[in-house]
Structure 1
Amino acid sequence: MAVDGTPDPYEVEIPFGTRLKLHRTRRGLTRDVLGGLVGRSASWVKAVETGRLGTPKLPILLRLVEALRIRDLAELTGEQSVPVDLFTGPGHTRLPRVRASVNALTLGDDGPAPTVERLRARLAAAWRARHSASHHRDVVGRLLPALFEDSQRAVRRAEDGTARRAARSVLSEVCSLAQFFIAYQPAESLLWRVAERGMVAAQEAEDPHALGVAAWLLAQAHRDAGDWEAADAVTEDASRHLVRHLPDGDRDVLAVWGALRFEAGYTAARRGQAGTAWRHWDTARKAAERLPASYFHPMTSFSRPVIAAHAVTVAVELRSGHEAVRQAGRAPAEAIPSRPRGARHRIEQARAHHLAGQRDEALRVLEAAHAAAPETVRYNGFARRMVLEELESRDPRRRDGAGGLAERIGLLT
């Protein structure tokens, strides 16, 4: 039993409709909003919740899981024998070594400390390697342990407060890189630990750029956990802090501020607040237009091509299929100078076509995303959900195409 007296859907044997209602109310969604998110009416949601309609078939179940941000299908169905972790990909082979480097204290270590300048150069090279690699998690996972060890050593060996703040700034940004590796793996507690460590290091460094990036990632973690209020609070607090530094003309700080404004729009779109979502997106767009046309922020990917890609995400989250397809046509993935970020945009384009009922095109775009960066598709819950849905298709061509992709991204193993 929860502290507020409501039944716990994980422990009590209760009907599907009641489970659905509990998850919906815990997420703060009305029946209208949830119905819109899954392509059904509010009356349909009510009929399911009250038991007049039975448990939906798999394609609708997967849409409900996505809308409610449930990480295991069994939490909704009550069938503990059929776990489906849609939003958690497989554990990467390099995860244990990364975990060990995060957990290690190394207090007795007497190795030489690299300079902050050298650490920054290595960190910049790691970001470049990530953006150019198809198997980017493997690349980042190989570099992270040494970056963690050396940046912590630089903090410990700093000779004065100025040097220590500079080293903590680097440590914070190493934590940010680590979150890209850890995300969507079965390591939720590790992700939160790294996110919080990155935020603390950024605050101690008194570095607005590092703090903005740490807040950007922390807001995403809250949103993906379903805590939209916490995501909004982090986004707004960090945005207010960065505004004071915008007159200094630092374009990286401007980019992070723009990325935070889009995050506010993303969360609003998840809530179904169309006007608020597009208003925040437009604010972010104006920030992108103040940056050079060739500019690309290495951590948030904020840039003119990516703000165009973000418009697809807003439309998809608002369940506006035809608008999402229209925006997808205006935002070519080839314009994004990053293989994983371009593949992520292709997944959003596939979601747009899927939402608009253009299932063949959705599969074609997913194939293109996989060709560009297989690991992005393998670890993306939206891609996994679309492939699983198409495995149930009545069209044998789509079913066969989805089967081949499902095998390549590890869904059938």
Structure 2
Amino acid sequence: MPSETTPDPYADPLVFGQRLQILRTRRGLTREQLGGLAGRSGSWVKAVETDRLKTPRLEVILRLAEILRVRDLSDLTGNQSVHVSFFTGPGHPRLAEVKAAVEAFPLDAGRQAPPIAHLRARLDRAWAARHSAPNHREAIGALLPDLIRDGQAVVRRAETAADRRRAHSLLAEVYSLSQFFVAYQPDTALLWRVVERALIAAQESEEAHAIGVAAWLAGQAYRDSGTSHFDAADEVNLRTLAHLEPLLPDASDDVLAITGALTFEAGYTAARRGETGTAWRYWEQARDMAARLPAGYYHPVTSFSRAIMGAHAVTVAVELRQGGESVRQAAAADAVVIPSRPRRARHRIEEARGYHLDGQPDVALATLAQAHEAAPETIRYNGYAKRIVLEEAEGKSPARRRRASALAVKLGLLAA
């Protein structure tokens, strides 16, 4: 709870600079760090925070909101008439059903446990739906409640130690699928409950692939929580990599792929820190692992593959704020088709960020339109995409404003 000497930016009528200082401090950023990420100096941040400079222009406010990962633009501006959720969405209609299944105490003695093979087949179909449906949250949200309850029942009904380990492996994967639904929903506590349950079930399974998947998602949750959690993201990634490394000489494709995905995630976090050499070194290591996989292979959870490395290169360049390199990598990756619709949409968003950094707003908007076509539910919950759309909707070019505004309406940022 905030003390009397620490105002709450979500409740008190504070000026912009005060809100900026409180939110910056809560994210664990120094003025120099925030200024560097925003393309300004630490002294500029101090001047804004102490009200020696007036409130910045909209594009700067949007950039600060992105860096601070504010839950709503009004949290930073104080203008309660402008509500734009950035890194959380409005709450999916199926969120309550999924939450009820996660939070129920699993002691339903009357529930029959399906055969493990049956649950495995249903889970495979759920992953396929997640990758193929444009409304992927709706698709998996409809399946998750029963998958969660049946996954818990399979663990309870396991009769041998081997069966129990297999059941825990499946339950860990169910919780991992759940994280894809719960991420960016307005319920942080539920997200962390799912993360922790996936990690616990994976450890109980003693199965390398399940452990790797749960750690991959936990690392993302930590990293997306802000700069003060980057160390925790590194800890879970690097410890899991150390656990998997001895298995690699004889590893299956799935274990090799999740190791490659974790390696890239370490590079992703390094890029968020601004550590250029480390970020690209991890990307190169992940690329070498991808080269060991069959040409047509795609990891069923992470999409890790030979083909995804071009998209990963765009992400590294964007996070390092390398506009020209982002565009170059986007051009190199553009010929590759990513089978997963949400992952393809995510790649288009990363490309759009690169074009925007490179001063090509028209191309950025066109690329965001492609992302919306691939998977509307991906772009609707993406703060980076929202920032670009809102910034261009207030820009100087009338034609660009019209295109951005039309996309903003599709994303629910502006009324039709």
TM over 0.5: same fold? yes
1:306 aligns with 308
* Structure 1 residue 81, shift from structure 2 partner: 5.3
2:145 corresponding residue in structure 1? 145
Aligned CA distance change for structure 1 residues 276 and 6 (closer, same or farther; 3 Å):
farther
Structure-1 separation of matches of 2:346 and 2:108:
42
Q: Which one-letter code corresponds to 1:178 in the other structure?
A: S
Instruction: Name the SS of the counterpart of 2:197 in structure 1.
Output: helix
Give the letter aligned to residue 355 of structure 2: H
Listed as ranges, the gaps of 5+ residues in structure 1 are none
Amino acid at match of 2:346: R
Cα separation, 1, equivalents of 2:366 and 2:13: 41
Gaps of 5+ in 2: none
Shift of 1:68: 1.8
Query: Match of 2:274?
Result: 272
User: What is the distance in 1 between the residues matched to 2:292 and 2:224?
Assistant: 30
Q: What is the CA–CA distance in structure 2 between the aligned matches of 1:107 and 1:171, rounded to whole Å?
A: 16
Give the aligned partner of residue 344 of structure 2.
Answer: 342
Q: What is the match of residue 114 of structure 2?
A: 114
Instruction: Name the amino acid aligned to 1:68.
Output: L
Partner amino acid, structure 2, of 1:74? S
Q: Which amino acid aligns with 1:307?
A: M
Contact 1:90–1:185 under 8 Å retained in 2? yes
User: Which residue of 2 is the match for residue 384 of structure 1?
Assistant: 386
What's the CA shift string for 1:113-160, capped at 9, x where partnerless?
212122112111211122111111111111111211111111111111
Equivalent residues of 1:333, 1:343 under 8 A apart: no
CA distance in 2, matches of 1:144, 1:12: 39
The equivalent position to 2:320 in structure 1, one of 318, 321, 337, is: 318
The corresponding residue for 1:327 is: 329
Task: Report the number of matched residues.
Answer: 413
Mapped to 1, the partners of 2:335 and 2:26 lie a distance apart of 36
Q: Which residue of 2 aligns with 1:294?
A: 296
User: Could you tell me how far apart the structure 2 residues matched to 1:360 and 1:98 are?
Assistant: 39
Q: In structure 2, what residue type is equivalent to 1:176?
A: S
Task: State the Cα RMSD in Å.
Answer: 2.1
Report if the CA contact (8 A) 1:259-1:284 is conserved. Answer: yes
2:237 corresponds in structure 1 to 235
Q: Paired residue for 1:246?
A: 248
Cα displacement string for residues 18-47 of structure 1 (whole angstroms, at most 9, x for unaligned residues):
443443344344545433422334443343
Q: Is the 8 A contact 1:36 1:319 kept in 2?
A: no
Which residue of the partner structure matches residue 86 of structure 1? 86
Paired residue for 1:24? Answer: 24
What displacement does 1:60 show?
0.9
Is the CA contact (8 Å cut-off) linking 2:346 and 2:371 kept in structure 1?
A: yes
Matches within 5 A, 1:2-401: 9-10=9-10, 15-80=15-80, 82-226=82-226, 227-332=229-334, 334-401=336-403
Residues 135 and 377 of structure 2 are in contact (CA less than 8 Å); yes or no, is this contact kept in structure 1? yes
Deviation at 1:345, TM superposition (A): 0.2
1:74 is displaced (CA, Å) by: 3.3
Q: How many percent identity over aligned positions?
A: 61
Structure-2 separation of matches of 1:208 and 1:352: 35
- Structure 1 residues 332 and 408 mapped into 2: Cα distance closer, same or farther (>3 Å)? same
Contact map agreement 1:21 1:49 (CA 8 A) in 2: yes
Deviation at 1:377, TM superposition (A): 1.2
CA spacing shift, 1:176–1:332, aligned 2, 3 Å: same
CA 410–79 in structure 1, closer or farther in 2 if over 3 Å, else same = closer
* Displacement of 1:326: 0.7
Query: 332-341 or 372-381, which moves further after superposition?
Result: 332-341
Is the partner of 2:307 in helix, strand or coil?
Answer: helix
Q: 1:185: how far off?
A: 1.5
Contact 1:89 1:381 in 2 (8 A): no
Q: Is the 8 Å Cα contact of residues 169 and 205 (structure 2) preserved in structure 1?
A: yes
